[in-house]
């Protein structure tokens, strides 16, 4: 059954992916983990899934966010110990995903299984769902991301270390997946910095595109730490100035 974007948000209990599926990802200073060819799993919070038209909410103390484009797989039925030969059985469809982090956040392994990153409201945004039958060869697809009309990311899924089917198989060995869960094929290289007021447009080439804007800072009751100034902010705080974009690891 094809799920709508709203139904995915309602049902999703797991957002899980392979962090280093694209070989170049570990060159861009987004993790404190030593990444090799062995798949490293990561989680994002389904509670912070953005599936509407509202602006992405930037935490207080920040002028913008780092953004990564990813290819997403929507689970249609319970998946446990999946075999790649069964693909695309039990898959509902596909989405293009924009995942956001604050500038100082990095993926960290807090246990032996999953890398985690600091989360905030609307930190993962998805497009409408494309029916699984509409994309016959997902490994041939190209994903892209534009900031105010200028292309900032482009990746071909055939360059991934694991195919789409292999990604589902690998993750199913660690997580029991249910209807509405999202499997991420991993962030493309060269995450970029998007400032408040800028517009992002992402898509799967010749298949689907969607847009989001970066909204104004929103009040939070949880404490946010500004590592640049080594101060803590609660509620409205001083803005921390950040670079316009990140194109690689610092020199």
Q: Which of 3.40.30.10, 3.30.1280.10, 3.40.50.720, 3.90.850.10 would CATH assign to domain 5-216?
A: 3.90.850.10
Please give the share of the chain, as a percent, with pLDDT higher than 70: 79
pLDDT band at 167 (very low <50, low <70, confident <90, very high): very high
Q: What is the pTM of this model?
A: 0.82
pLDDT digits (tens, 9 = 90+) for 77-95: 999 999 999 999 999 999 9
Q: Are 41 and 114 in contact (CB under 8 A)?
A: yes
Domain ranges of the chain: 5-216
Residues sharing a CB contact under 8 Å with residue 66, sequence separation 6 or more, in sequence order: 30, 100, 101, 102, 103, 105, 191, 192, 193, 194, 246
Check whether 106 has a pLDDT greater than 80: no
Q: What is the pLDDT of residue 191?
A: 85
Mean predicted confidence (pLDDT) in 226-246:
35
Q: Is the pLDDT of residue 166 over 70?
A: yes
**Across-strand partners of 182?**
15, 74
Res 214: pLDDT? 96
Query: Higher pLDDT residue, 84 or 239?
Result: 84
pLDDT at 225 over 80: no
Closest alpha carbon to 162 in 73, 97, 44, 100: 73
Contact between 142 and 136 (Cβ < 8 Å): no
Mean pLDDT of 218-225: 37
Token duo for residue 222: 């949880």
- pLDDT at position 13 is 98
Distance from C-alpha of 148 to C-alpha of 146, rounded to nearest angstrom = 6
- pLDDT tens string 19-61: 989 987 654 445 555 566 788 899 999 999 999 889 999 988 8
What is the percentage of the chain residues whose pLDDT exceeds 90? Answer: 65
pLDDT at 216: 77
- 144 close to 200: Cβ distance less than 8 angstroms: no
What pLDDT is recorded for position 131? 97
Contact of 240 with 229, CB cutoff 8 Å: yes
Q: Residue 8: which H helix or E strand, with range? A: helix 5-11
């Amino acid at each position: 059954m094809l799920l709508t974007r709203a139904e995915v948000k309602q049902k999703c209990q797991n957002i899980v992916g392979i962090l280093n599926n694209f070989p170049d990802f570990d060159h861009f200073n987004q993790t404190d983990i030593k990444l090799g060819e062995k798949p490293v799993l990561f989680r994002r919070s389904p509670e912070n899934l953005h599936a509407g038209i509202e602006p992405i909410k930037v935490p207080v103390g920040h002028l913008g966010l780092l953004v990564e484009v990813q290819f997403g797989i929507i689970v249609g039925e319970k998946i446990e110990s999946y075999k790649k030969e069964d693909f695309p059985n039990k898959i509902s469809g596909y989405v293009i995903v924009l995942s956001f982090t604050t500038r100082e956040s990095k993926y960290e392994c807090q246990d032996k299984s999953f890398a985690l990153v600091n989360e905030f409201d609307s930190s993962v945004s998805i497009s409408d769902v494309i029916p699984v039958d509409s994309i016959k060869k997902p490994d041939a697809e190209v994903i892209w991301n534009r900031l105010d009309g200028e292309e900032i990311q482009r990746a071909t899924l055939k360059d991934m270390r694991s195919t789409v089917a292999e990604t589902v198989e690998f993750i199913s060995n660690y997580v029991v997946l249910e209807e509405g869960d999202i499997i991420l094929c991993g962030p493309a290289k060269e995450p970029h910095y998007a400032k408040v007021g800028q517009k992002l447009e992402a898509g799967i080439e010749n298949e689907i595109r969607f847009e989001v804007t970066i909204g104004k800072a929103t009040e939070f009751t949880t404490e946010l730490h500004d590592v640049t100034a080594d101060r803590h902010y609660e509620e409205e705080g001083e803005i921390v100035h950040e670079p316009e974009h990140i194109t690689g690891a610092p020199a």
